[in-house]
Amino acid sequence: MKIYNTLTRQKEDFKPIKENEVGIYSCGPTVYSSPHIGNMYAYVCWDVLTRTFKYLGYKVNNVINITDVGHLISDADSGEDKMEKGSKREGLTVWEIAKKYENEFLENLKELNIELPWKMPRATDHIQEQIEIIKKIEANGFTYRTSDGIYFDTSKFADYGKFANLNLEKIREGMRVEVNEEKKNPSDFALWKFSPTNEKRQMEWESPWRMGFPGWHIECTAMSTKYLGETFDIHTGGEDHISVHHTNEIAQSFAAFGHNTAHYWMHNAFITFKGEKISKSSGGLYTIFDLKEMGFDPMAFRYMVLSSHYRKGMEFSLENLKVAERALNKLRGLKPTPNPSLDRAGSYSVNLEYKNEFEEKISDDLAMPEVLALVWKVVKSDLTLEEKWATILDFDKVLGLDLDSAKQNFIIPEEIIELNNKRIVFRKEKNYEEADELRKKINSLGYLVEDSENQCKIRPIK
């Protein structure tokens, strides 16, 4: 297995710490709002990573954390607390917000057929572990106190910024005005923030320093090492984590343990929408449930992710999603009708030549676009339909498209999907008359639509 390691900026042979075992820590969601498809892209990519290791015979211990405290609007310790922001927006307590969006995240994993990780620890359940590591960092002389918290002194770590090739001078020049004047260096970051003296925070804990809450970065150092050990195999995250979050994690682990924790650091690129990273300004903030409401199958989104390489990201559009759905349905359509006399003879065999080619490609830093090309090569090959299907189902252990389930063996024509999209728009505008007209039209073309609270299903009238 070869993976691209951000630490060395090159593809390397993967050497596990324990034979046939791999420990993977993936930075998880901050549970303060609905995850959009841009957020979920990463988790599909890392699901492919863990499935690949399992396919290759490894025991996989993977951890995805739940950030439910301490992540401020700016990654650099300024601005509002994201959880508090969610709480104000919805009139719920931060605890209720955390529960609500953690559940939503879990539903997203299910919709995208992402396997549940081995562990899914919450930051708020690991306050003591975070305090213990801060104490170590403090004892080793890497901290200082300001009026609002305990900070990490990045000038004490000579290699600070090396991981991200950061130009510290540039960072200093680029710092905005709102800079905390008590910080010794602009890149210093909070390990523990004090609660304000004049108000009670919804989330706060006693500590050796003062009542307060942990900074965002320390949770990942605390939870990754708790579950995977002081050194473990792989740490993953979005490429936006390189310059601040992971740079700070590396600094913390050096200060606490004297070494880096992870041997390999992997980073995914982003989904873009109209050429820009998905965001409020660029648009494209669809959730999986929005796509479902438009009549798309979440597995079509998964297929689309597989058609991209995790280090390149992908351009999202509903048009591209339709193309992906068509391809996915074509694959599903290959499923041979059961033949009782053949079935009794045992299962069909996987074509070993293609299987070897498959293993080569997944082991090459997850070359998924090439893997999909191979899938279509199998489809077009002169194998029997049964052999093709057996081979592709074997690949599906990594692809995770759940091809064998009989979820949807029919293909919804595009015309119907478009009519239904228009119908949903009318419904949203509360123009029920027009919406109903379209429903009748869809019925007359042989399809039924069923609306429920947050989704809409289309199926042929039998």
Binding site for Zn ion (CB under 5 A): 27, 220
> Measured from the CB atom, is 27 or 72 closer to Zn ion?
27
What CA–CA distances, in Å, run from 261 to 15, 77, 254?
Answer: 15, 23, 8
H or E element in which residue 86 lies: helix 82-90
> Measured from the CB atom, is 152 or 389 closer to Zn ion?
152
Distance CA 372, CA 386 (A): 19
> Measured from the CB atom, is 242 or 318 closer to Zn ion?
242
Distance CA 86, CA 30 (A): 11
What is the nearest approach in angstroms of Zn ion to the Cβ of residue 458? Answer: 39
Q: Which two three-digit tokens encode residue 429?
A: 């505008």
Query: Which of 327, 336, 312 is CA-nearest to residue 373?
Result: 327
What order do you get walking across the sheet with 21-26 strand by strand?
Answer: 59-64, 21-26, 232-238, 262-268
What is the nearest approach in angstroms of Zn ion to the Cβ of residue 220? Answer: 3
Distance CA 181, CA 80 (A): 18
- Expressed in percent and rounded to 5, the helix, strand and coil fractions of the chain are 45, 15, 40
C-alpha dihedral sign at 135, 140, 143, 144: positive
What is the nearest approach in angstroms of Zn ion to the Cβ of residue 152? Answer: 15
> Measured from the CB atom, is 27 or 362 closer to Zn ion?
27
What is the nearest approach in angstroms of Zn ion to the Cβ of residue 7? Answer: 16
Determine the Cα angle at 305 with ends 284 and 286, to 5°.
20
> Measured from the CB atom, is 27 or 372 closer to Zn ion?
27
What CA–CA distances, in Å, run from 53 to 47, 359, 415?
Answer: 10, 11, 41
What is the nearest approach in angstroms of Zn ion to the Cβ of residue 29? Answer: 10
Q: Which amino acid is at 321?
A: L
> Measured from the CB atom, is 27 or 76 closer to Zn ion?
27
> Measured from the CB atom, is 243 or 282 closer to Zn ion?
243
What is the nearest approach in angstroms of Zn ion to the Cβ of residue 227? Answer: 13
What is the nearest approach in angstroms of Zn ion to the Cβ of residue 245? Answer: 5
